[in-house]
């Protein structure tokens, strides 16, 4: 277990158990150099506890890099609650979890994620103030529209790089997932005149989006074989792997799912070899994090929107850096994140304990 923590460079991992309410959760704090670790709480029915641990470690590391590239003064953290989000949610489970978040005294701030909702955040808020994404006058609410906005502008940046135009009219986009992020994304894609093919492990959700927005439905496994311009993963991670990458028939991969590359180095290289441009997931999906940060920084809706739209310019910079340096786009974005963290760490270390200058 400690070897795995050292592999990803984590500061702290907390295991939370309350059998009376059925709570089994893991909170991972990756790096707090830039500020408190902020990241959502995911509820999922993991096959094993080891699978849950690996997921939370990878997700929290991604949050560190996401905040760094987005220019936010936040560190990276994430949490998972092991359980079925459709059958095992209760007020007491989330309130008990909120007590555990409170014990970390602000080192970790939570938010909504896969399998959790604004309602769940409100239950957590009953026990701790270290939660964002709640409803009401002082809350940022559901972050998914802003995540989708970031993915959308990221797709246009990738289209500009590959096709020479950011227009998506007539482009064929294969969307994996039919949750809130995907639905908001498909709405914008259809508005722009894109042809959309969509799937989800929950067929009824995908078909509902198809009916409402005029998309085409395919079975989950068939999405990798769709001939398209853009493949947009917006569900769970590790979907770009040895099996799926050879099946892709697209020029761009750009979507909101976290940890899309099963093996960061090998699978980024496979995409390059196939001539597919990859938009690093933690860069393109930063809109939700930017949105919940507004509760901490006091930003207006207009400021949030402008900052999310800046993902377009960030990705263009990453694509240029990757091309000029002949490296993978994920390596370019990692370099930007690591340099910012290193510079801030230097400033903090330089001025700790420095005596004040006194006027004579």
At residue 204, the 3 state secondary structure works out as helix
User: pTM for this structure?
Assistant: 0.86
Q: Say what the pLDDT of residue 360 is.
A: 42
Cβ density class 105-119: b for 16+ within 10 Å, e for less = eebbbbbbbbbbbbe
Residue owning tokens 């930007």: 336
Do 321 and 335 form a contact (C-beta atoms < 8 A)? yes
Q: Give every CB contact of residue 322 below 8 A, 6+ residues apart in sequence.
A: 328, 329, 331, 332
pLDDT in tens, the chain (360 residues): 778 777 888 999 999 999 999 999 999 999 999 999 999 999 999 999 999 999 999 999 999 999 999 999 999 999 999 999 999 999 999 999 999 999 999 999 999 998 999 899 999 999 999 998 776 655 667 788 999 999 999 999 999 999 999 999 999 999 999 999 999 999 999 999 999 999 999 999 999 999 999 999 999 999 999 999 999 999 988 899 999 999 999 999 999 999 999 999 999 999 999 999 999 999 999 999 999 888 888 888 899 999 999 999 999 999 999 999 999 999 999 999 999 999 999 988 876 655 555 454
**Residues taking part in catalysis:** 78
Measured CA to CA, the distance from residue 285 to residue 55 in angstroms comes to 17
Measured CA to CA, the distance from residue 6 to residue 338 in angstroms comes to 17
Q: Say what the pLDDT of residue 354 is.
A: 52
At residue 231, the 3 state secondary structure works out as strand
Do 63 and 78 form a contact (C-beta atoms < 8 A)? yes
At residue 108, the 3 state secondary structure works out as strand
Q: What are 137-174's pLDDT values in tens digits?
A: 556 677 889 999 999 999 999 999 999 999 999 999 99
At residue 42, the 3 state secondary structure works out as strand
Domains and CATH numbers, the chain: 2-62+74-125 (3.40.50.10860), 144-286+313-338 (3.40.50.720)
Do 307 and 299 form a contact (C-beta atoms < 8 A)? yes
**Cβ-count burial of 301 within 10 angstroms (0-12 exposed, 13-18 middle, 19+ buried)?**
exposed
Strand order in the sheet with 230-233: 216-217, 195-199, 172-176, 230-233, 252-253, 277-278
Token representation of residue 263: 């093996």
Residue owning tokens 């196939």: 274
* Angle between helical axes of 311-325 and 329-351 (0-180°, round to 10): 110
Q: Give every CB contact of residue 78 below 8 A, 6+ residues apart in sequence.
A: 27, 28, 30, 39, 40, 41, 42, 56, 59, 60, 62, 63, 113
């Amino acid at each position: 277990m400690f070897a795995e923590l050292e592999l990803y460079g984590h500061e702290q991992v907390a295991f939370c158990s309350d059998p009376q309410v059925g709570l089994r959760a893991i909170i991972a704090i990756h790096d707090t150099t830039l500020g408190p670790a902020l990241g959502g709480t995911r509820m999922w029915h993991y096959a094993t506890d080891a699978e849950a641990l690996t997921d939370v470690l990878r997700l929290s590391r991604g949050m560190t890099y996401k905040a760094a590239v987005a220019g936010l003064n936040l560190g990276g953290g994430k949490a998972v609650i092991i359980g079925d989000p459709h059958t095992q949610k209760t007020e007491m489970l989330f309130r008990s979890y909120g007590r555990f978040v409170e014990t970390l005294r602000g080192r970790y701030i939570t938010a909504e994620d896969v399998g959790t909702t604004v309602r769940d955040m409100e239950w957590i808020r009953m026990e701790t103030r270290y939660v964002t994404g709640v409803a009401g006058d002082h809350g940022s609410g559901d972050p998914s529209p802003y995540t989708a906005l970031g993915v959308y502008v990221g797709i246009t940046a990738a289209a500009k790089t590959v096709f020479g135009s950011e227009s998506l009219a007539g482009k064929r986009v294969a969307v994996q997932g039919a949750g809130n992020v995907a639905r908001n994304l498909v709405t914008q894609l259809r508005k722009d005149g894109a042809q959309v093919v969509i799937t989800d492990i929950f067929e009824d959700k995908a078909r509902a989006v198809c009916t409402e927005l005029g998309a085409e439905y395919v079975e989950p496994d068939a999405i990798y074989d769709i001939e398209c311009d853009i493949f947009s993963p917006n569900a769970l991670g590790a979907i770009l792997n040895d099996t799926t990458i050879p099946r892709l028939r697209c020029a761009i991969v750009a979507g909101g799912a976290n940890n899309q590359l099963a093996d960061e180095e090998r699978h980024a290289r496979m995409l390059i070899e196939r001539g597919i441009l990859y938009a690093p997931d933690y860069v393109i999906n930063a809109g939700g994090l930017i949105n919940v940060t507004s509760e901490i920084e006091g930003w207006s809706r207009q400021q949030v929107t402008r900052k999310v739209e800046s993902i377009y310019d960030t990705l263009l910079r990453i694509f240029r850096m990757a091309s000029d340096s002949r490296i993978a786009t994920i390596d370019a974005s990692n370099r930007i994140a690591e340099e910012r963290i290193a510079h801030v760490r230097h400033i903090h270390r330089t001025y700790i304990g420095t005596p004040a200058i006194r006027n004579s």
